[in-house]
Amino acid sequence: MSKQQENNQTELRAVLIGRQYSGKTSVINTILESSETEAEGDDDVKREGFIDGRRISLVETPGWWKTFSLNDLSNISKQQLVRRISMISPGPHAVLIVIRADFAFTDTDGRFLEDYVELLGPNVWTYTLVIFTRGDLIKPKHIEQRIQEEGSALRRLIEKCEHKYHVFNNSNHHDRTQVKELFKKIEGIVKNSNGKHFNIDQEKLKKVNEQWEEIQTRANSRKSRVQKERSKVQEKAYVHHLQEIRVVLLGWVLGGKSSAGNTILNRDEFATGGRTGEGKRGFGDVDGRKMTVLDTPGWWKYFASELNPDFIRSAILGSVLECKKFPHSMLLVIPADTSFQEEQKRITEQNMSILGDDVWRHTIVLFTWGDRFKDISIEQHIESEGEALQWLIEKCGNRYHVFDNTDKNNRDQVTELLQKIDEMAAENSLFCFNKRKNRDEKSCPKTDKQEDLNMEIRLKDVCQYLDEGFERKTEEIKRKIEKLCMDVMEECLNCDECGSMNNPLNFQNKPPHALKEVIIPLEDNIPEPITALLQREFNRWESIIIDGVQESLQDIKSSFELSQAEKRQMSMQAVDRWLQNYNHYVIHTVDKIQAPESRIRTKRLKT
């Protein structure tokens, strides 16, 4: 018997991969008969124990929140995955992909997960096994049906894992049978790989570790520099302490603006996940000061500003011009767990330009969802992302702040934000929008990259594909939501009181049919870069809508005070609320693009 085979008999090592709240920590607790909370940093992600005389080593990797595409995942998230894998030496016997059995698994989830896992190397699938958590909340036959469903994302993933999967009942930590069965399946992986463990590319690991050391050095330097700059104006800000503060929230749609506004005012003032196209003001007393927060509609994340519905520009300008007094600060809201590259830099610069060049002197970058990486500083994220995000921070005079949107009781984060606004106002006075100067303002100059991205194509052509693509995607989302409702709230949707799914959910929001008389062109008629941007935006919305509906349905289902009929009605309202925002943006984008005078004239792509 070789030394490696002998070690395999006395030790079992595994790495767990999955999105946030998928149940990775619960799996580890069940295996080790422990009750630890979710891992937060490098010091507590590796856990060990002994079972039947065998050492068990388990490493929990960082989870992700929204599954749009791998390109939209922050660089630091990708680096942390590789770094965490290296913590289990000499390498894991198995890579355990953790998925909640009671949650939908969409095509977008499948594509993202495949790309994410393959960051470890193409040969990783030999060592993978899918663990379904919350198996006690769904009937075993339903899991089998989902796996066997022809063409489903879950079936493709299971096939990728060579049909290796296991179901866990996390509510019963004392059921050791399920743990023993899991060990047998992992032992099968070891046997099929001739006793070898998974080895990550050492050159790749070395490069990531070197990058991480450099990132930490630059992050510490940035933090020290910003603190030094702040100290120069803090005394002045203390003297000019603002008794009234007015802020405007800006950023892309569904980026966390409304949640940030609610955190500032310490109440649910702004609706999330289903806003209309109008800006909204909120008022309150915060730290003894009068506070006015203006929440504006977000712009498309991936589309150039020319494709924004007109109501976005009107709402942003109206938020500023309709005020009797100009705002003290623009809060540019960006999710902290999202990639910010050259594309986002260009789009952000375009959309901010409607307020004039002076706007940057009065802007603070507000990173939302800072709780998603509790062991990562915002400076490390900034340095990891690269030049585009660093440019934005420098453009705003090194002014940035982080919110944990899940902890509204943490008022210290709001107090510190107000202090930073004081400092900015003391240094730059009020923002003042010069109507005459900006009346004939031109859009932000196009970069060579932007010109190279586009072809000589009329907006009408984009409109045709956008409308056709939106209809198709909306129908897909509706079908998935109907299936989701059956899976999550089966007893509510099939009871005698409510009728059955033979009478489908009656969604109020329907896809637009503005272009029914137009012959939809083949997708090949649309340049690949434009098609890719549209698909990314569609996937982003699908992921957000499915997640939002799923969370709403789980809350409705768990309510003991509602009747079955009330649950069904609330379910439909939740779906409509999420689809409303999607419909609103796309319909107005289609209407804008259809305008006869609207036309894009750009250079052809370089070959």
Q: What is the DSSP string of 154-195?
A: HHHHHHHTTT-EEE--TT-TT-HHHHHHHHHHHHHHHHHTTT
SS3 of residue 21 by DSSP: coil
Domain-terminating residue out of 149, 181, 200: 200
The whole-number average pLDDT for the span 557-577 is: 76
One domain, residues 387 and 244: yes
- What is the domain-level CATH number for residue 172? 3.40.50.300
Is 285 found in the same domain as 216?
Answer: yes
Cα separation of 597 and 604, whole Å?
Answer: 21
Q: How confident is the model at residue 115 (pLDDT cuts 50, 70, 90)?
A: very high
- 24: confidence class by pLDDT, cuts 50, 70, 90: very high
The answer to whether residue 598 scores a pLDDT higher than 50 is: no
Helix (H, G, I), strand (E, B) or coil at 152: coil
Unique residue bearing structure tokens 């925002």? 581
Q: How far apart are CA 260 and CA 464, in angstroms?
A: 35
Q: Which helix (H) or strand (E) holds 48?
A: strand 46-51
296 is a domain residue = yes
Lowest-pLDDT choice from 225-239, 429-443, 456-470: 429-443
Same domain, 310 and 171: no
In total, how many domains does the chain have?
Answer: 3
Tell me the CA end-to-end span of the chain in Å, nearest whole number: 58
Same domain, 211 and 111: no
| Same domain as 481, residue 386 | no
Q: Cβ(422)–Cβ(240) under 8 Å? A: yes
Residue 607 maps to a domain: no
- Whether 184 and 215 map to the same domain: the answer is no
447 within domain boundaries: no
- Three-state DSSP class for residue 601: coil
Residues 504 and 561 in one domain: yes
The backbone region for 437, taken as left when phi is positive above 0, alpha when psi lies in -120 to 50, beta otherwise, is alpha
Report how far apart, in Å, the C-alpha atoms of 308 and of each of 578, 585, 593 are: 20, 8, 9
pLDDT at 202 > cutoff 60: yes
Give the model confidence (pLDDT) of 281-321 as tens digits: 899 999 999 999 999 888 888 877 877 777 888 888 877 77
Residue 597 DSSP class: T
* Residue 506 pLDDT level (bands cut at 50, 70, 90): low
Of these ranges, 270-284, 431-445, 575-589, the one predicted with the greatest mean pLDDT is: 270-284
224 within domain boundaries: yes
Whether 254 and 545 have beta carbons less than 8 Å apart is answered as no
| DSSP single-letter state for residue 560 | S
Taking the C-alpha atoms of residue 230 and residue 237, their distance in angstroms, rounded to an integer, is: 10
Q: Is 532 helix (H, G, I), strand (E, B) or coil?
A: helix
Domain extent for 69:
3-200
Residue range 266-271: average pLDDT? Answer: 85
What 3-state class would DSSP assign to 98? strand
What pLDDT, on a 0 to 100 scale, did the predictor assign at position 284?
93
pLDDT of residue 491 exceeding 50, the answer is no
**Which pLDDT belongs to residue 290?**
94
Which region among 124-128, 272-276, 386-390, 436-440 has the lowest average model confidence (pLDDT)?
Answer: 436-440
Question: Is residue 409 in some structural domain?
Answer: yes
Residues 45 and 186 in one domain: yes
Residue 544 has which token pair? 């957000």
Q: What's the mean pLDDT in 81-91?
A: 89
Residues 6+ positions from 231 with CB-CB distance below 8 Å: none
What confidence score (pLDDT) does residue 433 get? 58
Q: pTM for this structure?
A: 0.82
Instruction: Report residue 452's pLDDT band, with 50, 70 and 90 as the boundaries.
Output: very low
Q: Quick one: which of 272, 268, 274, 277 has its CA closest to 308? A: 277
CB 486 within 8 A of CB 561: no
Per the CB < 8 A criterion, the answer to whether 379 and 425 are in contact is no
Kindly state whether residues 16 and 52 are assigned to the same domain: yes
3-state secondary structure of 217: helix
Residue 448 lies in a domain: no
With cut-offs at 50, 70 and 90, classify the pLDDT of residue 79. Answer: very high
Residue 580 main-chain phi, psi, to 5 deg: -55, -50
Other Cβ atoms closer than 10 A to 492? 24
**In which band, very low, low, confident or very high, does the pLDDT at 421 lie, cut at 50, 70 and 90?**
very high
Token pair for residue 114?
């495949």
Q: From CA 23, how far away is CA 493, in angstroms rounded?
A: 27
**What pLDDT does residue 378 have?**
94
Considering only residues 98 and 243, tell me which one the structure prediction assigns the higher pLDDT. 98
Q: Which pLDDT belongs to residue 447?
A: 45
By mean pLDDT, which of 24-38, 391-405, 430-444 is the weakest?
430-444
Residues 21 and 142 in one domain: yes
**Residue 487 in this model has a pLDDT that exceeds 90:** no
> Do residue 102 and residue 171 come from a single domain?
yes
Question: What's the token pair of residue 284?
Answer: 């309150």
Sheet of 94-100, strands arranged across: 46-51, 54-60, 11-17, 94-100, 128-133, 165-167
For residues 152 and 555, which has the higher predicted lDDT (pLDDT)? 152
pLDDT at 342: 92
Percent of the chain with pLDDT over 70: 74
For residue 327, which of 368, 358, 366 has the smallest C-alpha distance? 358
Domain ends where: 440, 461, 480?
440
The answer to whether residue 106 is domain-embedded is yes
C-alpha 233/C-alpha 245 separation (Å) is 18
Domain boundary among 162, 182, 200: 200
Confidence of residue 41 (pLDDT cuts 50, 70, 90): low
Distance, in Å, from the CA atom of 166 to the CA atom of 181, rounded to the nearest integer, reads: 8
Characterize 58-82 residue by residue with b for buried, 16 or more Cβ atoms within 10 angstroms of its Cβ, and e for exposed. Answer: bbbbbbbbbbbbbebbbbbbbbbbb
Distance, in Å, from the CA atom of 490 to the CA atom of 13, rounded to the nearest integer, reads: 38
The phi and psi torsions of 118 (rounded to 5 degrees) equal: -75, -5
pLDDT, tens digit, for every residue of 240-266?
A: 678 899 999 999 888 889 889 999 999
CA 31 to chain centroid, in Å, comes to: 30
In a domain, 599, yes or no: no
Average pLDDT over residues 475-488: 70
- pLDDT value at position 605? 30
Q: Residues near 90 by Cβ (< 8 Å), separated by ≥ 6?
A: 197, 199
Q: Judge if 39 and 72 occupy the same domain.
A: yes
pLDDT, residue 400, reads 96
pLDDT per position as a tens digit, 152-193: 889 999 999 999 999 998 777 677 899 999 999 999 999 999
Q: For residue 527, what pLDDT is reported?
A: 63
Which phi and psi (to 5°) does residue 514 adopt?
-65, -25
Mean pLDDT of 101-123: 88
> What average pLDDT does the structure give for the chain?
78
Is pLDDT above 60 for 336? Answer: yes
Bridge partners (DSSP) of residue 248 are 294, 330
